[in-house]
Amino acid sequence: MILYEVLLEVEPGLAAEVEEHMRRIHIPAILATGCFQRIRFLQAAAGRFRTSYETRSQGELDRYLRDHAPELRSTFSALFPAGVALSREVWVEREAWDQVLS
C-alpha cells in the first residue's frame, strides 16, 4: 500500500472555507478519479489538516499525478491563492499489524 499525504497549514480566517471545500468538492473529485481506494481527511489543530490518499500501487499514484493532479491543484490554487501552505509526501507501507479481537 502507498499513502500520498498532503499537509495543509491554513491561516485562521480561511480554515472553515478550506475545510468545506476539501470535504465537499476537492476530496470527492480526487476519489472519483479511481486512483485511490480510501481517502482520510484529518485535523490536528485549528487550520492544520492532513489528507491521506491510499492506493495499491505506484502506477495508480503516477496516473493520478500525471492525469489529474495538475488540474485539481490549479483549481485549488485559484480559489486559495494565498493563506494555505502545502507539503506533500509519499509513504510506502513496509508492514502492518492488526489486533485480532476475540
Q: What is the pLDDT of residues 55-69, one digit of tens each?
A: 999 999 999 999 999
Topology adopted by domain 2-92: Alpha-Beta Plaits (3.30.70)
Residue spans of the domains in the chain: they are 2-92
Give residue 39's pLDDT band: very low, low, confident or very high (50, 70, 90): very high
Q: Is the dihedral of CA 90, 88, 79, 42 positive or negative?
A: positive
Mean pLDDT of the chain, nearest integer: 96
Grid cell of 45 as nine digits: 489543530
Cα-trace Rg, the chain: 15
Query: Is the predicted pLDDT of residue 50 greater than 90, yes or no?
Result: yes
pTM: 0.90
Q: Give the model confidence (pLDDT) of 9-21 as tens digits.
A: 999 999 999 999 9
Residue 102 confidence class, pLDDT cut points 50, 70, 90: confident
In one-letter notation, the amino acid at residue 95 is E
